[in-house]
Structure 1
């Protein structure tokens, strides 16, 4: 079979999607363009720590169709939706011109350039949990077993997918770039998409790029700035994360008993104890309220989703 990589493709001819997370607004009543999806189960966190907003996604589109994004963002903003520190922006780029032949070059590109892309997009430190790096071990695993499992992290569900996520090829035929901070600003989102499109097209063409962020942007003819801002989380959220990290090693064995094969997604204090939320692949979140006793933890109640 003839190799499909490298191949020069105009970045404007690549199909893409974008996951736009937001808080506020009224997602249940948002008027959608044809093919657009609002994920009402994908909630973010507002300033008071309450679940809020949603995630908005287009169908696969081309750069020349980007006006759809502007229309939907305008509708979001008219509802009062905003992006805060809890929101993310993920860009999916279709790999149709190269097929699976592009996956290993993208893994190699991630190993060389992931810190450069992260620096260009100014990824908030607290969001690195959601976009961990590709590792040399992943490359070796992929060569032995070309599959999504080879390029996924183990551990907390939030950190399974890398910042340059080639596992998305096996799900929907894309590479996903997960480093951008949240935004509902047209210009910031379009700049981010353009950078991702130009980067993937360059890797698809077999180009060698600089690891210096400014030089890379210039080589790609991509915007050098104007990407979504780094928004630091409030102190209460940082403290909650510190508490969570301290409790996860203690509660992991109990979580495995409560939901065999599950992994702790997050932990939050509630009025009658500590709520442990456990995710099992392909299933919904399981929520248990626990209370520490002298020698063990007691399950107070299970919370129905």
Structure 2
């Protein structure tokens, strides 16, 4: 979204349904290469999800910047996905981007402070599945302090994995897209669930933009916003094999991470997969595509084989 708005100051009262927004719709199945797209919509074919068998599947669908009165485009595109047999499963998320062009960089710190106060309420209202919390880590007080000392995108990064720079309330998105990205919602292809989620995020950002003080308790928080109290994408349980895969990753990360740092300095391990002959390790460095490396076990540890 364009960061050159009419007004770039904070606070600035803007009605929630006047804000531009986008939404990243993750799904499995279907035939994403064959979906007919509305003008400006994008199918990110390199963004794959995980189906029930553990295979990469589906894609991520994204609109151009939309206004609230254009939300019927979402219904149309969800219908096209469903007609092909696409579904949102436990591996999928729904990420809402809200344009900050009415405030500019001036709203970044207020959003960080608001995230400290209200990220737990957002997580509770949106019923974030436990296995997805890895992909929406919390904003920390240290992040706010770093930003106060030196405003900019690097202050909004934490070390760790994966996607440690993409918090549940991801203000770093301002520096890439002119938005704040709210990542807590579970995946859905249900139109009503999707637009309720978008409305909640729009109302939250508009309230922060106006400098409003909001209660921390979830029920009071959503009531103060005037957002729907329910009807959001429900929690879904990850299969046992996925939980076991995460446990394996957590056990192997301390062993593999030093080698990944030598191969791709400044990167984070995104995921690991056992494959025939060894272990596939995917790592990500800011602003770059995933890099994949092959390792094999030996009596002395894990040996790097090749870059895939």
Q: Tell me whether the two structures share a fold, i.e. TM-score over 0.5.
A: yes
The answer for the alignment partner of 1:90 in structure 2 is: 95
1:197 & 1:17 partners in 2: Cα distance? Answer: 10
2:87 & 2:24 partners in 1: Cα distance? Answer: 14
Query: What is the RMSD computed on CA atoms of the aligned residues?
Result: 1.3
The answer for the alignment partner of 1:171 in structure 2 is: 176
1:3 & 1:229 partners in 2: Cα distance? Answer: 36
Per-residue CA deviations over 1:159-179 (Å, capped at 9, x if unaligned) read 321111111111111111010
Gaps of 5+ in 2: 1-6
Is 1:233 aligned to residue 238 of structure 2?
Answer: yes
The answer for the alignment partner of 1:243 in structure 2 is: 248
Shift of 1:276: 1.4
1:60 & 1:281 partners in 2: Cα distance? Answer: 23
Shift of 1:199: 0.7
1:139 & 1:258 partners in 2: Cα distance? Answer: 31
The answer for the alignment partner of 1:50 in structure 2 is: 55
Per-residue CA deviations over 1:206-243 (Å, capped at 9, x if unaligned) read 11111111111111111001100110100000000000
Q: Give the alignment of 1:246-265 within 5 angstroms.
A: 246-265=251-270
Aligned mate of 1:161, from 154, 166, 175: 166
Contact in 2 for aligned 1:153/1:162 (Cα 8 Å)? no
Is 1:284 aligned to residue 289 of structure 2?
Answer: yes
Is 1:297 aligned to residue 299 of structure 2?
Answer: no
Name the count of aligned residue pairs. 302
2:168 & 2:288 partners in 1: Cα distance? Answer: 24
Contact in 2 for aligned 1:85/1:233 (Cα 8 Å)? yes
Shift of 1:114: 0.6
Contact in 2 for aligned 1:275/1:289 (Cα 8 Å)? yes
Contact in 2 for aligned 1:153/1:161 (Cα 8 Å)? no
Gaps of 5+ in 1: none
Compute the TM-score of the two structures, normalised by the length of structure 1.
Answer: 0.96
Contact in 1 for aligned 2:8/2:104 (Cα 8 Å)? no
Sort the Cα spacing of 1:9 and 1:46 in 2 relative to 1 into closer, same or farther, 3 A: same
Shift of 1:282: 3.2
2:300 & 2:201 partners in 1: Cα distance? Answer: 51
Compute the TM-score of the two structures, normalised by the length of structure 2.
Answer: 0.95
2:241 & 2:222 partners in 1: Cα distance? Answer: 36
The answer for the alignment partner of 1:81 in structure 2 is: 86
Contact in 1 for aligned 2:8/2:101 (Cα 8 Å)? no
